[in-house]
Structure 1
Amino acid sequence: MRRSGGERKPREERWAELIEVATQVFYEKGYDGASLQDIADRLGMLKGSLYYYIQSKEDLLFDVISSVHRDGLAVIRARAELPGDPLQRLENVIVGHVEHTCRNLVPTAVFLHELSALPPDRRVEVLGNEHAYQGVFRGLIEAGQAEGLVRTDIDPRLAALSVLGSTNWVYRWFRPGGAFSADQIATELAGMAVRGIATPDALAARGV
């Protein structure tokens, strides 16, 4: 694992490169169609050298999927902690989620397409028993109900799934430089989602 000049790459740098390349190869060929040899060739290293970092292709997919989930979760958790009432924070979370998705189209596609390739126990290990990502949305919706800002006839889990379903789909049609900017998409989707669950009084207070 030496560079052309004989300089050895730090493990952290090489690992980050491995994850980036594996993500791209899984995106291009799909998990089933990709091989460790494909990834090694793209990295310019021997296939056997990959085993310094991983034990199997499944392990590598697990690490790729975990990295995507961890990065996205960090974004929305940070947005959820911003000042404001639950509806404002939910709007911030949706904007953050959509913007992050638009900036990370390839990793998002791999996550959504290939998560099912992992065994059930490893999917749980990534997502957490309580589906941590979904839980951020659900928690804010529940907090909004407790404060009279979100309609009580709405099931928080169903509402969270609806928001995530519609916003996740952005990765299929968003194109950088296209008709809609990431900011515009994020703002409008967040606004539509909030208007769909807010109480009349909450809407009136927001000037809607």
Structure 2
Amino acid sequence: MTKIRNKEQLVEAAARVFEEKGYAATRIEDIAAELGVMQGSLYYHVGSKAALHRLVVQHHLRLLVAGLTAIVEGPAEPAEKLRLAILGHLTHVEQHLLEASGWFSDPTSSADITEQETAEHRDMVLRYRACWARIVEEGIARREIAADTDATAVAISLVSMCDYVSYWFRRDGDKRIEEIAALQHQIVWSGIAAQHAG
């Protein structure tokens, strides 16, 4: 038997098991086996499977925020940033398909969730939306996006659109994730682009 070195090791192991089995089919002993520890050792670090899953969700949200921040702060034009942002989100969804559908769900439905966990989840979602809004705001400032566009509303819509792909996308379907991302980009950009931008 090994020891759990830190919470990061626990979260990474749980993420692998949730991805392989899905949340519903995963047992706490499956995660213990992945770590090579006794089941009781997990409860020293986390109180329940649901609490552990929330840590995994936060892990994925941090990855999404970091990836999108890099795009936002990069040198690309707004249209290209939007394309990269959509593709980045959907690629992450495809890589973690079995668990992705819960990332943006309201966490307060969990009976044992703490106020701190709720606040952390809300803050991460708001940070992610703000990154999308910055792309739209940059496009407005550069007159590539229509001046009357509500950046916040577009950002919320973009997150919802990308998030919902996790509910219906299938790896063995007739569309690759790159094709879906390209289609979504075309739909969104054609709806918000300034007329002179084409």
Give the structure-2-normalised TM-score. Answer: 0.81
Show the 5 A alignment for 1:71-150: 71-113=63-105, 115-116=107-108, 117=110, 118-119=113-114, 121-128=116-123, 131-150=126-145
What is the Cα-based RMSD across aligned positions, in Å?
2.7
Over residues 106-156 of structure 1, what are the superposed CA-to-partner deviations in whole Å (9 max), with x where a residue is unaligned?
Answer: 231232446343445422213417811111111111111111111122211
Whether the 8 Å contact between 2:129 and 2:159 is mirrored in structure 1 is yes
Distance 1:54 1:103, change over 3 A: same
Q: How many residues align?
A: 190
Q: Does 1:17 align with 2:17?
A: no
Distance 1:120 1:149, change over 3 A: farther
AA of the residue aligned to 1:51 = Y
Q: Secondary structure at the match of 2:171?
A: coil
Q: Secondary structure at the match of 1:66?
A: helix
Partner residue, 1:188: 183
Among all aligned residue pairs of Structure 1 and Structure 2, give the percentage whose two residues are the same amino acid: 25
Q: Does 1:50 align with 2:42?
A: yes
Over residues 151-172 of structure 1, what are the superposed CA-to-partner deviations in whole Å (9 max), with x where a residue is unaligned?
Answer: 1222111111111212211111
C-alpha displacement of 1:88: 2.1
Over residues 71-91 of structure 1, what are the superposed CA-to-partner deviations in whole Å (9 max), with x where a residue is unaligned?
Answer: 222222223233222232122
Whether the 8 Å contact between 1:127 and 1:133 is mirrored in structure 2 is no
State the alpha-carbon separation in 2 of the partners of residues 67 and 18 from structure 1: 11
State the alpha-carbon separation in 2 of the partners of residues 58 and 41 from structure 1: 14
Distance 1:40 1:173, change over 3 A: same
Give the structure-1-normalised TM-score. Answer: 0.77
Distance 1:115 1:106, change over 3 A: farther
Whether the 8 Å contact between 2:133 and 2:152 is mirrored in structure 1 is yes
For structure 2, the residue ranges without an aligned partner over 5 or more in a row are none
Partner residue, 2:60: 68
AA of the residue aligned to 2:28 = I
State the alpha-carbon separation in 1 of the partners of residues 164 and 197 from structure 2: 28
Q: Greater Rg, structure 1 or structure 2?
A: 1
Residue of 19, 24, 27 corresponding to 1:28: 24
Distance 1:23 1:119, change over 3 A: farther
AA of the residue aligned to 1:11 = R
